[in-house]
Amino acid sequence: MADSPNCDLKSLSPLQLFERVTEQGEKVRALKAGKAPKDEIEAAVRMLLSLKLLYKTTTGQDYQAGLPPRDLVLINNGTSKEEDEDFVDPWTVQTSNAKGVDYDKLIVRFGSSKIDTDLINRIERATGQKPHRFLRRGIFFSHRDMDQILDAYENKKSFYLYTGRGPSSQAMHVGHLIPFIFTKWLQEVFDVPLVVQLTDDEKYLWKDLTIEKSYEYARENAKDIIACGFDINKTFIFSDLDYLGTSTGFYKNIVKVQKHVTFNQVKGIFGFTDSDCIGKISFPAIQAAPSFSSSFPQIFNGKENIQCLIPCAIDQDPYFRMTRDVAPRIGQPKPALLHSVFFPALQGAQTKMSASDPNSSIFLTDTPKQIKTKINKHAFSGGRDTIEEHRKYGGNCDVDVSFMYLTFFLEDDDRLEQLKQAYTSGELLTGELKKVLIETLQPLIAAHQERRKQVTDEMVKQFMTPRKLAFEF
């Protein structure tokens, strides 16, 4: 139909779609200028509106003439097909590849550095501890300036950790645990302070939530973070809605960042449009500010030269590319980063898990029965269509979600390799692999739920009270 984008258009890249909208707009203007028949003009206008809607659905941005989509990461997975491109920004992760995003090409696109064996070995030497499984297995795969952090640490200079959580729902899922599991390990082996930002302001700006509900979710999510086992004497958790009004150091850094980033730059980095509220446009400075130690004078005794290390998923990197660009201009050290891969949805590695889709995730509130049902019913399989074919040809661990989850949560490297070999050879069936995952996740989540029950409102208040931690600066 003339007024509906066809399937071929839906496979276009954002830039190609932008060009298609532009062409259609020019066609409408030409028809009007040439006084074409009314029904022909109306059909062209309907097509233009449909294309603009498809453009917004695809990019998350309103079409604006002369402003093509920017900072949507486009990575071709080695083929010439448009549908094989990956799209990554702080709000959207899309790939057509069942193996997931091509992270090697993402490193090139973002300009970060690969975490290689030499860096992992150096971390082991510096800490005297076996590298975390997330490092051994490439789950944290990319970095910015981790070598500088190690240089400072080896010269007896301290640093601090900063990570965060956007509280968009009351219940967190297992994917949300990944940065906190790794950050806890980093805190323990390096013995450094940690600040955790709860961006309840961001979720109010982006989601259909009241400000009270966003704040409530922040405090509920704080309980799950505390249940990961963080040391109250070394950890400060804060809500933006709370802390911004009490810390002049935090607000001063926000204003400094805001002064040094133009509206044009923030549109280019994050894809904001003229129709976005001003809260969204100013928010990146709020996520940047905890990267500077002067935002926490109570912890660092007012010192401004303490470097920050940020473990996060790589979709958050645009915030900190901006931060690293601004830091030298406001007299602050650039934050270092450690990037993780995305935790796949049960339905496959094409997307991140979603807190809004209960069947895409294993939630930290799920019962053992729910965990079993979700994995058996929804976990994407790399097995064959029949037992006979599976025995003959084996399964594909690269796309099998149960195996992917085990790489995150099964500690034993030898056991994981045995499962991989058995599944790949066809000796182990899909149902048997899912059973291993169920038996791994059920006790892990039950233990988390038990720890969370012990977290009282008073403990949350203590963790979230600005105070001096157990370090001297």
Which tens digit of pLDDT belongs to each residue from 26-63? 788 778 878 889 888 989 899 888 888 888 888 777 77
Average pLDDT over residues 463-472: 95
Question: Comparing 265 with 81, which gets the higher pLDDT?
Answer: 265
Average pLDDT over residues 368-378: 96
Average pLDDT over residues 364-377: 96
pLDDT tens profile 316-356: 999 999 999 999 999 999 999 999 999 999 988 775 556 66
Rounded to the nearest 5°, which phi and psi values hold at 170? -70, -40
Entry pTM: 0.81
Pairing verdict, β 113-114 and 348-352: unpaired
**CA dist 124 to 26, 136, 228, 363, Å?**
60, 11, 23, 32
Q: Across the chain, what does the average pLDDT equal?
A: 89
Q: For residue 323, with 0-12 CB atoms within 10 Å meaning exposed, 13-18 middle and 19 or more buried, which class applies?
A: buried
367: Cβ–Cβ under 8 A, 6 or more apart, which residues? Answer: none
166: DSSP letter: -
H helix or E strand, kind and range, residue 21: helix 14-33
Please name each of the domains of the chain with its CATH number: 14-59 (1.10.287.10), 98-347+460-464 (3.40.50.620), 368-454 (1.10.240.10)
Nearest to 338 by CA among 189, 159, 175, 135: 135
pLDDT tens profile 444-458: 999 999 999 999 999
**CA dist 408 to 149, 173, 403, 442, Å?**
25, 14, 9, 14
Whole-number Å distance between alpha carbons of 333 and 13? 37
Query: What is the percent of the chain where pLDDT is above 70?
Result: 90
Per-residue model confidence (pLDDT) at position 20:
84
